[in-house]
Each structure stands twice: as C-alpha cells, then as structure tokens.
Chains A and B, each alone.
Chain A
Amino acid sequence: MLVETCILDPRLVEVSRKLGFQRYLVETRKDLREEGLRRRVTLQGDSRSASPNNSIVFFRPLSRGQLVKALNDPGIHGISVDNDNFYLLRKNLLNLSKSKEKFIEIRLSNSSSNVIRRAIEWGYKGAKIVFSSCASRISELWAPLSLVNYITFHGAYMEDVISWVYTNPLELFQLVSDDP
C-alpha cells in the first residue's frame, strides 16, 4: 500500500490518488474524516505549540540544540530535513535518531541531489528514511515510479529504495490510530 507522507494542500489528495497512492498524510490542523487520510503537523524552530491528538508530528530543526531536543522528545515522530538543515544530522545524532526510532523525512521540494545522496547513506546505516513531496501544487507531486528511479539514479540499491518508498511510509502511517 502506497502512502504519500506529506501533502500541504488537501485538494491534491484526488490527484495523488491518480498517481497510485492509497493513503495520505495531510498537513493540517483541521479534523480529517475521510478514510485513508491522517493529519500531520510540522513544528519548526522554537515554536512548540500543542499538536492535535491523533496526528503525526514532525519537527524541522534549525539548530543542533533544537535537533537534540526533538530527538529526545517522545511526542515527535520524525525529523524533517531539506537543503537548509541536512548538515545538522551528523554521525552521533544519526545514531541517536536510530536509537529513538525517529523517522527522517526528506522534503523533495527543497532538496538537492546532495541531500538525496546523504539520505541514501543514512538509509544504509539503518535510519528510517521517508521521501515526501510536500506538494502545494500539482506539479510538485512525485509519481512513485519516478521517485524510485530518481533515488536509484543517485546510487541506491533498488531493494532499499523499495523499502524507503513503500514500507517506511506505511509504518509511519500506522503510528497513530483513527480513533479519537
């Protein structure tokens, strides 16, 4: 079952369905009643507003201190990484993220090939990698077949890519239940 791990505009769910996705994590603070949709929240910097219940919480750190705090916070499910903050995740913090079982999300809309290459290295070291489109427009969405080939073209083995694109997002989706 394919899971799109980040959609910024809920109207893109229909388009995403045409691409082959069956489950979606939508960035919103509103209640989602539709089946197959779950809410996610991305916290950033020092803003620690209370996240709604039954939502998957990501944190986008802007400094090393924030990253360490987020990795030790049990209420945060994953770390959001892109061009601006990928350098924060060094060896010791990567090991911490593995021991705390945090997901590492790569935002494709703002990630260069350098970030993708680093993410492949993290994946090989056992980190739970997911690739998110974080689309707010149609043209920012990524079809699964394109995504698999995009990562493979950066030097990853196909079997690992399959687990990052299929298995890890499903595991993330199942972290929280639908029940209020």
Chain B
Amino acid sequence: MVIVIWLSGLTVILLTSKNVVVLKGRRKIGKNKKRYIVFRVVGGQGQLTSKALETSVRDAVKEFVGRMWLEISDPHVIFYSPSTMSGIISTNRLGYRAVLASLPLVKSVAGMEVLLVPLRTTGSLKKAKSLIRTG
C-alpha cells in the first residue's frame, strides 16, 4: 500500500515537472512590483513642476509605445527637487523599460527645452530618495 502511494506520488511529480500534465491553478502571474526611476533634468532654466514633468513623460510614453503601455507602465513623477534638478518617477516592473526608453523623447517641459537623464532604477522609494540626497 505504501509502495503504491509512493509510486503514484513520484508519477505525479514526474509528469507535472515535464509539463505532461498541467494541474489546475498552476499558472501564476507575478506581482507587478513598483520600480522607481531616479532622473536628473539637464537644461531648463526656469522652475519646473512635477505636474508638468509628469505630463511630458506620459505624453512621451504614449508617443513611443502607445496607450496600452502607458496604462501598464503608469508613470508618475512622485518627487521633484528644483534645487538639485532631480526627481523620481514611479512605475512598475512590467513597464519601467518603456518609460526609460521614452525619456529621450521628452524634448521640452512647459515650453522649456530639457533633457531627462535616467540615473538609476531601484525597487524602494527609500533607496531612490537616498540616491538623490547623495547626488
């Protein structure tokens, strides 16, 4: 009896590992965790606001990859420091590449010619803020 249970257990493990049998509920979608992009603004003499930056970034993402990826990546400028001219964009693991690739397409913010330079991407807001503080 024990041998039969043992052998049937081994069979199930073997078949599922080789994808011969797919158990119900096996497919999982990974959690779309947050990613934070630390960026710096080059150019742009006047005072930029995080709202104006966010509008430009969202327009650039929509221009490059379209509405679907804009909704997936959902970029928001959650912090911008005019003194250091650096800020943080919040996005997620699925869409952060789309946001990074779209940043050069931001040619101007509120009528001022600027360049957004991504410095680092990180998974925690605390780390992103410390990166800005250390410069």
Measuring CB to CB, which residues of chain A are less than 8 angstroms from any residue of chain B? Answer: 15, 18-19, 137-139, 141-143, 145-147, 149-150, 152-153
Contacts and interface: CB of A to CB of B under 8 A. Distances in A.
Chain B CB count within 10 A is highest, among A19, A142, A150, for A150
B104 interface: yes
Nearest to B103: A146
B71 interface: no
Interface of B: 40, 42-43, 65, 97-98, 100-101, 103-104, 106-108, 113-115, 117-119
A145 B115 contact: no
Contacts of B103: 143, 146
B118 A145 contact: yes
A147 B40 CA distance: 16
B97 A138 contact: no
Given A15-B42, A139-B108, A149 B115 contact: no
A141 B41 CA distance: 12
A138 B104 contact: no
A162 B42 CA distance: 24
A18 B117 CA distance: 9
A101 to B, nearest CB: 30
B72 to A, nearest CB: 13
Given A138-B42, A149-B101, 10 more contacts: A18-B40, A137-B113, A138-B43, A138-B114, A139-B43, A139-B107, A139-B113, A143-B117, A143-B118, A146-B104
Contact of B100 (A18, A19, A137, A145): A145
A156 to B, nearest CB: 12
Nearest to B69: A153
Nearest to B39: A143
A152 B97 contact: yes
Contacts of A149: 97, 100-101
Contact of B65 (A138, A141, A142, A153): A153
